[in-house]
A and B are shown apart, each in its own frame.
Chain A
Amino acid sequence: MALSRDAVRQIALLARLELTEEELDAQVEHMNALLAQFEKLQELDVTGVEPTAHAFPVYNVMREDRCRPSLPREVVLANAPEQRAGCFVVPSILEGA
């Protein structure tokens, strides 16, 4: 199962990556090579094996419901490209209203 150029373009969009046409070509080749590696795994017989999401049989790792100090606001906003009124500023999101 090979990925088409359009599929890779779509994946790049979902990952918010801007690729030039050359980079796109390189990615098509690279990702298809990667998928071929995974296809090897399909050969294994996994009948009766439950899908696993985690490597360890460890469950119910939880914390008690207690507050801990938050960061000072200037630290929270330190990475904001723009800030105003204690908020992160982003380009407006059209809601159609």
Chain B
Amino acid sequence: MLEYEPVIGMECHAELLTESKMFCGCQNAFGGEPNTRCCPVCLGLPGALPVANRKAVEHVIRTALALNCTINRYARFDRKNYYYPDLPKGYQISEYDTPIGVRGWIDIEVNGEVRRVHIRRVHLEEDTGKLFHGMGNESYVDYNRAGVPLMEIVTDFPPDLHSAEEARTYLVKLRAILTYLDVCDGRMEQGSLRCEPNVSVRPKGSSTFGVKTEIKNLNSFRSVYRGIEYETQRQIEILRRGEQVVQETRGWNEERQQTFSQRSKEFEQEYRYFPDPDLLPLDIDEEWIAQIRATMPELPDERRNRFLRDYGLPPYDASFLTETRPLADYYEQVVRACGDAKQASNWVMGDLSRLLNADGKEIAECPVPPEHLAVMIQRIAEGTISGKIAKALLEEMYATGQPPDVLIEARGWTTIKDTATLSAMIDRVFAENADVVSAIREKGQLQKRGFLVGQVMKASQGKADPKEVNRLIDEKLNA
């Protein structure tokens, strides 16, 4: 049977982190009572004049630089004209043929191989309002989001991405860069980072391109992956039946894990782009670019390399920990306070991430401050608590926000090292399991020794120092 491969282009929209909207002074924030962050400019009332937000422009220049783009010295705002209820002016202000950044790239790593994903353009525009559907034959419109600064990042053609996993990895990397730059919070579930992949399939190894579809409503990395997988399979099945793929926009249904045809566009849109006469063009000169370059933060790749070099972490750990800036910051604070990079990595990537995932929280909302985790790691290193107790302790620290020393004291979790106490415990276990003891002593069944150690640990509720227990058990068995 003919093998097919997907060809994937990615169009991403990032809401920029600014105080105010793109062309007016209304607040740029998520949520809020409907239609309370609106003014004549973002409502498109007659006579209102837009003025560009300097910070938003600089966010786009910064991003374009981080994505290795060439900066267009001359960039102009254009009007993209169409009618839709979420667009109060009847046009969206965007950049048509003079995007701020062009011809960049992102390197991603898939299956241990570095792949370069080329970026076609990075441009600045404004977001639309929000429509609420499903009220019978009515829709409700909230214009709080209308006019929020929005950055569009589009991959180049021909596309470099050839699997759902590559597309997901690209998006993870893009989000990392945006959060490191502090230009976007990257919250896909809130729509501040949105991704619309276009997918087509072709016979494997072919250099032609099939008919593509665009997928919308993907609001997590997982749904991006699943949506592309689904669409790839759907198109392959259509072609295998000898039918044609229809060029269209398809929505993702999270419950059914399927894409569905969105027939909202009855005919090809004619956007009639033209320069916005209300806005003067940008002249992005070398001096301005140099100023922005001078304040570029460390980017994910640089930080990952530093983690490999300075902390001696395995590549997997270094990648995981540098995926978002808050996570990398948290980790570094733990390392600085406890001095053990590998232990810090194990706890942050293991138990702490598991607790956060189960709770649906981001590291920024973590109830355990990095200093507390660092103290906990030190207590393990000193032998005050065992690794096993530490797992329970971390859960308590997470649940209560209390420092580890307070909880160790309150719960009596200090490791028992005292020889007399341990000796008495072992004697009791020996007495209760005389048959096992004699099997070891007389028949040399050494494999049963572990059972005795386990019983002592259990009797101490995990608090006995395992090293001491082992030493004392050997001593007594040989006595």
Q: Which residues of A contact B (CB under 8 A)?
A: 14, 16, 53-54, 56, 58-71, 73, 76-77, 84-97
Contact = CB atoms under 8 A, between A and B. Distances in A.
Contacts, number: 139
Contacts of B143: 76, 88
A59 B283 contact: yes
Given A14-B272, A16-B83, A54-B277, A84 B39 contact: no
25 contacts: A56-B280, A58-B280, A60-B282, A61-B51, A62-B54, A63-B53, A64-B55, A65-B18, A65-B54, A67-B19, A67-B26, A67-B27, A68-B26, A71-B40, A71-B43, A73-B34, A76-B36, A86-B34, A87-B140, A88-B85, A89-B138, A93-B133, A94-B264, A95-B251, A96-B262
A19 B18 CA distance: 44
Contacts of B56: 65
A67 B25 contact: yes
B264 A93 contact: yes
A66 B138 contact: no
Contact of B52 (A56, A61, A90, A93): A61
B261 interface: yes
A66 to B, nearest CB: 6
Nearest to B144: A70
B283 A86 contact: no
A67 B18 CA distance: 10
Contacts of A73: 33-36
A64 B54 contact: yes
Given A73-B36, A92-B135, A92-B138, A66 B251 contact: no
The 6 closest A-B pairs by CB, nearest first: A68-B25, A53-B275, A87-B140, A65-B55, A59-B283, A62-B54
Contacts of A68: 20, 24-26, 39
Interface size class of B (residues with CB under 8 A): 35 or more
A90 B281 CA distance: 35
Contacts of B52: 61-63
Given A92-B133, A93-B131, A93-B139, A59 B35 contact: no
Contacts of A71: 38-40, 43
A53 B97 CA distance: 12
A77 B133 CA distance: 19
Contacts of B20: 65-68
A69 B437 CA distance: 81
Most chain A CB within a 10 A radius of its CB, from B38, B83, B282: B38
A64 B25 CA distance: 9
A66 B19 contact: yes
A77 B33 CA distance: 13
A7 to B, nearest CB: 11
A53 B281 CA distance: 9
A91 B36 contact: no
Interface string B135-170: 111111111000000000000000000000000000
A91 B83 CA distance: 13
A60 B283 contact: yes
Given A71-B39, A96-B251, A59 B282 contact: yes
Contacts of B27: 67, 70
B253 interface: yes
Interface string B248-285: 00010100000011111000001010010101111100
